[in-house]
Structure 1
C-alpha cells in the first residue's frame, strides 16, 4: 500500500492540490469506518425497535451511560495512538513499537478496572436514570453485556488507533465494514431468543472477531509496528516507556478522558431531563441521536484523519504545514457536515422510520432531527478542530471549551426549554449549544495559528 504521509516525514514540499488530495485520501476511509460504526447502532436500534417501544426505551435509557464509558476507553487508546503518530512522523519506528507493546498492556489492565466498575453499577443504573419499572430489567441486561465487552472494545480501539496513526487508515475501515456485517448476522441469530440482551450480545461478538483480526494486523503484519517475530528492539523498552512515553500519553489522554467524562455525564444529565417526558420521548430521543449520528460521523472520520496528519507533521517538526492542513481539514468537515445537515432535514422521516414502526415516535423524531440539522456545520468545525488539537498533543483547552459549552449552555437551556416545550425544547437547546461550541473551536483554531 502506498504511504501517502511519506512526503511529510521526508520534508517534501506539497502543493495545495497535493495537500487537498492527501486529506481526502485519508479522510474517506476514516469516514467509512465511522459511518460503519454508527450503522451498527442503527442495526441494533432497528431490530430492537420492532420489539416495541419499551424495548427501544430500555436501550435509550442506558445509551448515554455507554457513551460515557466509551469516551473513557477511547481517551485511553487515543493517548498512545497520538504518541505513535509523533514517533512515526519523526521516523522513529523503534520508539513507536515501544509504545505499541506497553501501551496495549496498560490499556488492557485499565479496561479491566472499567469493566469491574460497570458490572457493579449495572443493577442500579436504570433506576438512577429514572426509567420506568417496565424497562429496567432489559436496560440492566443490555448494560451488563456492554460492561463485560469493555476490555474487547478497548483492545479494538487501541490497535485500530495505532494502525491509523502509522498512516494505514484503509485497513481499519475495511474491518469496520466487516464488523457491521457480522453484527447483522449475530443480531439475527440472538435477538429472537434473547430480545434486547441479544442485541448487546450480537454487537459484543462482532467486536471480539474484529478485535482479534485488528490485533493480528498490528502485532504481526504492520510493516512499521509489528513486534511479534521481530528482534533487535533491545531490553530497555519498558524503562524507556515508563520514563517518557507513558507520561506523554497521559498528558494527551487525561484531558481527553476528562473531556469525554464531562460530555458523558452531560449526555446522562440530558437523558435524565428527557426521561420524565415519557416512554415515547425517551425512545424518540434515542432513535434521533442514532439517526443524527449518520450525519456527524463524517466529521469524526475527518477528525481521525486530521489527528494522523497533524500528529505526523508535529513529529516531523513541520508546524506550519500542520497548521495549514489543520485548517483545510476543518473547512472540509464543515462543508461535508453542512451537506449532511441538508440531507438530514430532507430525509428525517425516512431515517426515523427505519428505526421504529411507531407513528408517534416517528413524528416526534422527525421534528427534533430537523431542529438539529441547522447546527451540523458548526458541529463539524468543533469535531475536526478537536482532532487537529489531538494530533498536536494539545488537548487540555479543548476539554475546557467543551466543559463551558455543554454545562453552561446545553444543560441549563435544555432544562428550561424542556420544561416548556418538552423534547423539542431540549433539542433546541442542544442545537444552540453545538453552534456555540463550533464558534469557540474556530476562535481557538485561529489563535493557535497566530501563536505558533
Structure 2
C-alpha cells in the first residue's frame, strides 16, 4: 500500500534531471566531507610542535590514518549497498511496507556491525599499522588519532545506513542536510579540541579525530529521529527493528559481495600504502595530500554513483530495465564530465593546492614530490568515473559478485606488481633473485594506480553494457 508520506512518482521525468536531482545533493554532501578532511590536513600542518622538524611525521601519521579511516567507508558497504538496492526495488514496486521493514533491518545490521568493528579496531590497530610499515612516533600518533573514531564507529555506520535507505527512496536531500550539518559541526569541534577555547587547553592532534567522531554521533541521532517521524515514505518503527532473518538475508545477499569487493580493495589499498610508506615520510606526506585533492574527482563519481544505484534499482523494481540501463549511462556521462573537469584543475593548480598545506619552505620537498603525481591522475579521471559509477549501478541491480573479480585483477595483477617495479631501484623476487626496478618513487606508484584504474574502468563499462545485471534477483 502506498504510504501517505511517499514522494511523488518521478520515474517518468527526463533521466538527466533525475540523475542531477539525486546526484547534486549527494555531491554537495561529499564535498562537505572533503572540506572536513582538508580542514584536518590543514590543522595537522599548523598546530604548534616542540620540534618543527617533526611536522612530516604528523602528516605521515595523518595520511595512514586517512587510509584506515577510508577503510570504514568500505566496511559500511556491509549495510549501505543492500539497503539502497533493496529499498529502491521496493520503492520502484510501490511496496512501502517492505521498504520500511528493510530500513529497520538496515539499522539493526548497522549497530551490530558497528560494535563488531569497534572491538576489532581496538584490538588490532597497533598490529595493522605496524604491518603498513609505519614506525616510531608516526605509528604511535596514528593509533592515538584513530582510537576515538573506533570507539564511536557504530554511530557512523548507523548514520550511513539511514542515509543509504533514504537514497534508495530517492531522497538524497535529507542526507545532505544532516551530513552537511555534521561537516559544519566537525570543523569548529576539531579546531576547538585541537587548539582549545579560551582558558580551556586543546588536546592537540587527537582532538582533530575526536571532533570528527562527535559530529557523526550527532548526525546519527538526527537521522534516526527523522526516520522515526517518517520521511520520504520511510518510517522507522520498533516492530521493524525486530530481526527478520529472511529480510536480513536479502540485504546481505547484495551487501556481502559488495563488501568483499570494497574491503578487499581496501586491503589492497593498504598494501599499496605500505609501498608508499616505505619510500619515507616525505613521499608518504605528499601521497596523502595528493589523495585529499584527488578526492575532488573521486567524490564526484561517488555522488553520481549514488544516483545510478538508486535509479537502476527503482527502474528494475518498476520493471523498466531499458530505462534502468539508460539511467546508468546518463549518470556516467554527467559524472565523467564533472570528473574530467576536476582533472583539468589538477593539471593547472596542483602546485597551489600543495602549497596550501605546505606553506613552510622546509616542506618544499613534499611539494616537489607530490605535484607531478597529482597532475598525472588527471589522465585517469574518465576511467575512475567508469569504475565508480558502473560499480554503483551494478550494485543497485544486485549484481555485486562478478565485479569482485575485476577489483582483484586490477589490484593484484596490475597496481601492486607495477608499483613494486616502478617505485624501487630493484625488485626482490625471492628464490628467483632480483630484477632492476625503475626507481621512480611516488610518481611510479601513481603510474601504477592510473594503469589499474584504466583496466578496471574498462571491465566495469563492458559488464554494464552486457546487460546481464537486468536479470539479477534481490
TM > 0.5 fold call:
yes
Contact 2:101/2:240 (CA < 8 Å) preserved in 1?
Answer: no
**1:149-160 residue pairs with structure 2 within 5 A?**
149-160=152-163
Q: Tell me the secondary structure at the aligned position of residue 194 of structure 1.
A: coil
Residues 33-70 of structure 1: per-residue CA shift (max 9 Å, x gap): 11112221111111112242211111212332222233
Partner in structure 2 of residue 331 of structure 1: 333
Partner in structure 2 of residue 232 of structure 1: none
Give 1:279 deviation, angstroms: 0.7
Which of 387, 402, 406 is the aligned partner of 1:401? 406
Partner in structure 1 of residue 427 of structure 2: none
Give 1:178 deviation, angstroms: 1.9
Partner in structure 1 of residue 230 of structure 2: 221
Give 1:180 deviation, angstroms: 1.7
Partner in structure 2 of residue 280 of structure 1: 282
**2:190 equivalent to 1:187:** yes
Contact 1:83/1:249 (CA < 8 Å) preserved in 2?
Answer: yes
Contact 2:108/2:241 (CA < 8 Å) preserved in 1?
Answer: no
In the alignment of these two chains, the number of paired residues is 437
Q: Tell me the secondary structure at the aligned position of residue 278 of structure 2.
A: helix
Which of 107, 111, 115 is the aligned partner of 1:112? 115
Which of 348, 351, 354 is the aligned partner of 1:352? 354
Name the CA distance, whole Å, in 1 between partners of 2:72 and 2:215: 19
Q: Tell me the secondary structure at the aligned position of residue 281 of structure 1.
A: helix
Give 1:400 deviation, angstroms: 1.4
Name the CA distance, whole Å, in 2 between partners of 1:324 and 1:84: 20
Which of 15, 21, 43 is the aligned partner of 1:19? 15
Structure 1 unaligned spans of 5+:
230-234
Partner in structure 2 of residue 33 of structure 1: 29
Which of 260, 268, 272 is the aligned partner of 1:258? 260
Partner in structure 1 of residue 100 of structure 2: 97
Contact 1:218/1:225 (CA < 8 Å) preserved in 2?
Answer: yes
Name the CA distance, whole Å, in 2 between partners of 1:131 and 1:274: 10
Name the CA distance, whole Å, in 2 between partners of 1:303 and 1:189: 35
Q: Which range moved further: 349-358 or 246-255? A: 349-358
Q: Tell me the secondary structure at the aligned position of residue 6 of structure 1.
A: coil
Partner in structure 1 of residue 378 of structure 2: 373
Residues 107-145 of structure 1: per-residue CA shift (max 9 Å, x gap): 201210111000001233332221131212211101212
**2:115 equivalent to 1:134:** no
Structure with higher helix content = 1
Partner in structure 2 of residue 306 of structure 1: 308
Name the CA distance, whole Å, in 2 between partners of 1:169 and 1:6: 15
Partner in structure 1 of residue 207 of structure 2: 198
Runs of 4+ with >3 A deviation: 2-5, 235-239, 449-452
Structure 2 unaligned spans of 5+:
48-54, 196-201, 425-438
Name the CA distance, whole Å, in 2 between partners of 1:141 and 1:282: 19
Task: Give me the TM-score of the superposition, normalised by structure 2.
Answer: 0.88
Q: Assess, with a 3 A threshold, how the Cα gap between structure 1 residues 266 and 434 changes in structure 2: closer, same or farther.
A: same
Q: Tell me the secondary structure at the aligned position of residue 153 of structure 1.
A: helix
Q: Tell me the secondary structure at the aligned position of residue 421 of structure 1.
A: coil
Contact 2:350/2:374 (CA < 8 Å) preserved in 1?
Answer: yes
Partner in structure 1 of residue 464 of structure 2: 445
Q: Tell me the secondary structure at the aligned position of residue 131 of structure 1.
A: coil
Alignment RMSD: 2.0
Name the CA distance, whole Å, in 1 between partners of 2:151 and 2:469: 46
Name the CA distance, whole Å, in 1 between partners of 2:207 and 2:128: 19
Q: Assess, with a 3 A threshold, how the Cα gap between structure 1 residues 3 and 226 changes in structure 2: closer, same or farther.
A: closer
